[in-house]
Structure 1
Amino acid sequence: MVVDNTKEYNAQSIQVLEGLEPVRKRPGMYIGSTGSSGYHHLVYEVVDNSIDEAIAGFCKNIKVIIEPGDIVTVEDDGRGIPVDIHPEYKVSALQLVMTKLHAGGKFDNKAYKVSGGLHGVGVSVVNALSEFLEVYVKREGKLYYQKYRRGVPETDVLVKKEGIKETGTIVRFKPDREIFDKGVTFNYDVLHARLRELAFLNKGVRIQIIDKRGKEEKKDEFYYEGGIVEFVNALTQEMKPISDTFYIYGEKTMSDGKLLITEISFRYTTDYDEIGYSYVNSIKTIEGGTHLTGFRSGLTKVMLEFYEKLGFDKKAKVDISGEDVREGLVYVVSVKLPEPQFEGQTKEKLGNSEVKGLVEDIVYEKLVPIFEKNLDTVKKILEKVIEAARAREAARKARELVRRKSALDSFSLPGKLADCSERDPEKTELFIVEGESAGGSAKQARSREFQAILPLKGKIMNAEKARINKLLDNEEIKTIITAIGTGIADTFDISKIRYGKIIIMTDADVD
């Protein structure tokens, strides 16, 4: 966390981009929707202001309280929103932040090095979409207060108390029922998950959530001194690890002179899937982006280097790919930068092209010395990578075999399949049954015209826990694929399905 004490946070730090008029007319443009996600976004937007203070190094505690009637209070111990008169607009900076779209220190690089907020709309949108909003500011020894109704000030900025030592901001609001879909309410578990995530991503920040709506109060507190290392440890709690949890931190200056901060933590497990989460300024980038691409390419580059350096290339004699390197990998990638550019259909993909190369460089520069000190672990990881590469190649060959045995031709259908005469998938049914005896009974009871029966041997392989090459070596799995006719993976074609309904007809035994 970088604390920049040389920059003042006052009315001159506040920049104004637009008024609030459009927000109530088209709320979906500013918070995504008027359903549950937009409703929860109001809380996130206020909390993001507190997180901005934490990122800047001025906030250690954030509290979120939900009261009956879905009234929410967000409290932090940051510097407090400035209350002095803005030099251009001649009103309190606090009122500007609350009533002008995009007004805030996060748009002035003097006040914040980086800032959260995917939509970046600011607390003013929360104000516009709230039945009422109250804000308390503890700053310069005084407690200031102002109240709004549907974005319009009901009071001036008032001094409620003097002689206080603390600093911080308290925002209390109630979403406007005229705006949001009928029946939406705050879900404790949804807020819990997001606040826990924020605590992981901003180590050393204590975040509390208290729900006072039920008969019994719900309460949780999140504090992670280990940050994203603890995040990865939590993600791998139920898995079997083959490495410790690695951690990378790096800073790079971008071409515009601004700072890119990169934090990455990852661990290898015996699992076959890649599990990862990426974030920009504490906002989840569901579609990834240039920061994630940079991590993946940097990791692959390091792995290939050690693959050759440790002589595995001569022993294994197999080409490894990025896909192989990421098998069983669990990671969290978090970057912080002043002006993230989002793209993609959901605007949840980082588009800053420069970030890819910078993150890749950080990964390479930091990870090589870490791996040099952990060669035994690196060897274990590379053994898994080689196994994944061999499995990938075997799967490719197996898919070719399955493709050649296409079910397009009825002559290639499995011998145990009792097919039906109808060829229109809209009218046909396939019953998958256990064993020949069950198959015999089913064949007697079926309608030969549109019902097909496929008997299988007892308990078959668990597809969730096996590599695809092992699955495609299994006769029962191959039989199912051939009978259905669609192909699999990159050759899957739903138009080639032979049966409109597939019914798994088994008993309740575990096998």
Structure 2
Amino acid sequence: MSEETTRYDASSIQVLQGWEAIRKRPGMYIGSTGERGLHQMVFEIANRAVNEVLAGRAGSVEVTLTPDGGVRVADDGPGVPIGKVGDTGRPELEALLTSIKTGAGPGGRRDVALDFSGVGPVVVNALSRRLTAEVRREGIRWVQEYARGVAVTPLNEAGTATGNGTTIAFWPDADIFETAEYSFEALAERFRQLAFLNRALDISLSDRRQQGKVRSARLRFPGGARDFVAFLDAQTAAPAPTETIALELEDPRMAGEVEVAFRWCGSHEERVRGFANSRPTIGGSHEQGFRDGVAAALNVYAREQLLLNATDPDLGADRIGEGLTAVVSVKLDHPEFEGSTQGVLRNPPVRTCVAQAVQEHLGRWLEGHPEQALAVFGRIQGTRED
């Protein structure tokens, strides 16, 4: 083997920056080039608009699937600033759409993170054959257009504007994506979750891809986790032996807050959904704490009411969970996740705080609702005998 073929030094390293790096390895930034990645493009653009609403600067977000294969995301906030950024001479809007953020990570409890890699809207710009941005701010309408991550027009003043807001529309690049078909159901599911978990959120999703046929959904749920539980249980015809039990609590020990809603229904399926800072989880300290708290409250009540004999073992989580529908949501100042997918919450104090809150709240509910408490135990005891 020659020296030429074995030599490896700095000259052998290819350095890609900005939109070039994104287009070279899109999966690193949106997860895939299939349907999942296509949907992530929508979430990446919606991320800023959603947080404008949660910060109180906007009232609603509108997401539209357009007939020509594009997606339009609009909000009625103050509009992205159009002033120059430092010494770059670039408008802030252009910096938002072309500059990769650094040091990205999980935000605080008031932030919703819909993005995949934390680099911001630049990833959508780079992976779109065309992207247009419109800012309505202080009575003026500003527009700019991009192609595959590069500005093809300057930021132009395009007349007067009624009201404020930002609208970004994009058309995914067919050279990148394996599919161009969005799933209305998949997008609605994620936006619905956000609306359940953030009561101030008001999202409208419209599908205008078929001529003469418009499909739309307005996603706003002032009842929060209670509404979420009712939605999950609506998928079964089995009657619920208990009302929905709900609690909300802020606990400085975990530097955050918890919202929990749950009830037992007549089916045998367990539906426990966990979320950390509005991000779906597959387990972690908040879900463990919820199960600990439910088990502790039920066992204490059962012993006090002689529903369990002295020789009977405690009710286990496997029995307690059958027919249980629950939403466990925590919002933390400093969430700690396991792995890059951030699917498992690892903040140790959360388990203790959630368990204590659930045990105390459920304990009081059991004492105040003896008939429903008996229905729950009758169901659990029946399950034990199966």
How many angstroms apart in 2 are the aligned matches of 1:58 and 1:309? 51
Asked if the contact 1:320–1:386 (Cα under 8 Å) also holds between the matched residues in 2, the reply is: no
Asked if the contact 2:107–2:333 (Cα under 8 Å) also holds between the matched residues in 1, the reply is: no
State the match for 1:292 in structure 2: 287
How many angstroms apart in 2 are the aligned matches of 1:25 and 1:246? 50
How many angstroms apart in 2 are the aligned matches of 1:191 and 1:301? 38
- 1:226-270 CA-partner distances (Å, limit 9, x unpaired): 122122112212221011112221223356xxx423222111012
- Greater mean deviation of Cα atoms: 21-30 or 86-95: 86-95
State the match for 1:442 in structure 2: none
Aligned residues: 366
How many angstroms apart in 2 are the aligned matches of 1:275 and 1:316? 31
How many angstroms apart in 2 are the aligned matches of 1:130 and 1:54? 26
Counterpart of 1:313 (choices 308, 317, 327) is 308
Counterpart of 1:138 (choices 122, 136, 139) is 136
State the match for 2:10 in structure 1: none
How many angstroms apart in 2 are the aligned matches of 1:148 and 1:100? 14
How many angstroms apart in 1 are the aligned matches of 2:379 and 2:310? 14
1:55 partnered with 2:54: yes
DSSP-derived class of the 2:95 partner: helix
Counterpart of 1:178 (choices 175, 178, 198) is 175
Shift of 1:103: 6.6
How many angstroms apart in 2 are the aligned matches of 1:171 and 1:225? 27
DSSP-derived class of the 2:258 partner: strand
1:169 partnered with 2:166: yes
Counterpart of 1:219 (choices 212, 216, 221) is 216
State the match for 1:252 in structure 2: 251
DSSP-derived class of the 1:49 partner: helix
- CA 1:346–1:376 in structure 2 vs 1: closer, same or farther (change >3 Å)? same
State the match for 1:150 in structure 2: 148
How many angstroms apart in 2 are the aligned matches of 1:186 and 1:373? 48
- CA 1:362–1:70 in structure 2 vs 1: closer, same or farther (change >3 Å)? farther
- CA 1:222–1:187 in structure 2 vs 1: closer, same or farther (change >3 Å)? same
Shift of 1:48: 2.5
- CA 1:123–1:372 in structure 2 vs 1: closer, same or farther (change >3 Å)? farther
How many angstroms apart in 2 are the aligned matches of 1:146 and 1:219? 28
The one-letter amino acid of 2:272's match is G
Asked if the contact 1:59–1:79 (Cα under 8 Å) also holds between the matched residues in 2, the reply is: yes
State the match for 1:69 in structure 2: 68
DSSP-derived class of the 2:308 partner: helix
DSSP-derived class of the 2:356 partner: helix
- 1:284-341 CA-partner distances (Å, limit 9, x unpaired): 22x2222222222222222222222333233783431122221210111222234434
State the match for 1:206 in structure 2: 202
DSSP-derived class of the 1:314 partner: coil
State the match for 1:193 in structure 2: 189
State the match for 1:262 in structure 2: 258
1:40 partnered with 2:39: yes
DSSP-derived class of the 1:213 partner: strand
Shift of 1:20: 4.3
DSSP-derived class of the 2:283 partner: coil
**Cα root mean square deviation, aligned:** 2.9
The one-letter amino acid of 1:115's match is V
TM-score when normalising by structure 2: 0.84
How many angstroms apart in 1 are the aligned matches of 2:220 and 2:147? 34
- CA 1:117–1:190 in structure 2 vs 1: closer, same or farther (change >3 Å)? closer
The one-letter amino acid of 1:132's match is R
- CA 1:294–1:55 in structure 2 vs 1: closer, same or farther (change >3 Å)? farther
State the match for 2:353 in structure 1: 358
Shift of 1:106: 8.8
The one-letter amino acid of 2:137's match is R
Shift of 1:121: 3.5
How many angstroms apart in 1 are the aligned matches of 2:231 and 2:379? 22
Asked if the contact 1:85–1:93 (Cα under 8 Å) also holds between the matched residues in 2, the reply is: yes
State the match for 2:125 in structure 1: 127
How many angstroms apart in 2 are the aligned matches of 1:376 and 1:140? 60
How many angstroms apart in 2 are the aligned matches of 1:227 and 1:299? 20
- CA 1:374–1:105 in structure 2 vs 1: closer, same or farther (change >3 Å)? farther
State the match for 1:283 in structure 2: 279
- CA 1:304–1:72 in structure 2 vs 1: closer, same or farther (change >3 Å)? same
How many angstroms apart in 2 are the aligned matches of 1:171 and 1:333? 33
Shift of 1:72: 0.4
- 1:389-432 CA-partner distances (Å, limit 9, x unpaired): x33xxxxxxxxxxxxxxxxxxxxxxxxxxxxxxxxxxxxxxxxx
TM-score when normalising by structure 1: 0.65
How many angstroms apart in 1 are the aligned matches of 2:29 and 2:167? 22
DSSP-derived class of the 2:241 partner: coil
State the match for 1:159 in structure 2: 157
- CA 1:305–1:77 in structure 2 vs 1: closer, same or farther (change >3 Å)? farther
- CA 1:186–1:170 in structure 2 vs 1: closer, same or farther (change >3 Å)? same
DSSP-derived class of the 1:195 partner: helix
Counterpart of 1:113 (choices 96, 110, 113) is 110
The one-letter amino acid of 1:350's match is L
The one-letter amino acid of 2:251's match is K
State the match for 1:374 in structure 2: 369
- CA 1:54–1:301 in structure 2 vs 1: closer, same or farther (change >3 Å)? farther
The one-letter amino acid of 1:92's match is P
Asked if the contact 1:130–1:173 (Cα under 8 Å) also holds between the matched residues in 2, the reply is: yes
How many angstroms apart in 2 are the aligned matches of 1:297 and 1:361? 8
Shift of 1:365: 4.5
Identify the structure with bigger relative contact order (alpha carbons < 8 Å, sequence gap 6+).
2
Shift of 1:21: 4.1
- CA 1:108–1:345 in structure 2 vs 1: closer, same or farther (change >3 Å)? closer
- CA 1:115–1:106 in structure 2 vs 1: closer, same or farther (change >3 Å)? farther
For 1:379-458, what aligned pairs fall within 5 Å after superposition? 379-388=374-383, 390-391=384-385
How many angstroms apart in 1 are the aligned matches of 2:257 and 2:134? 32
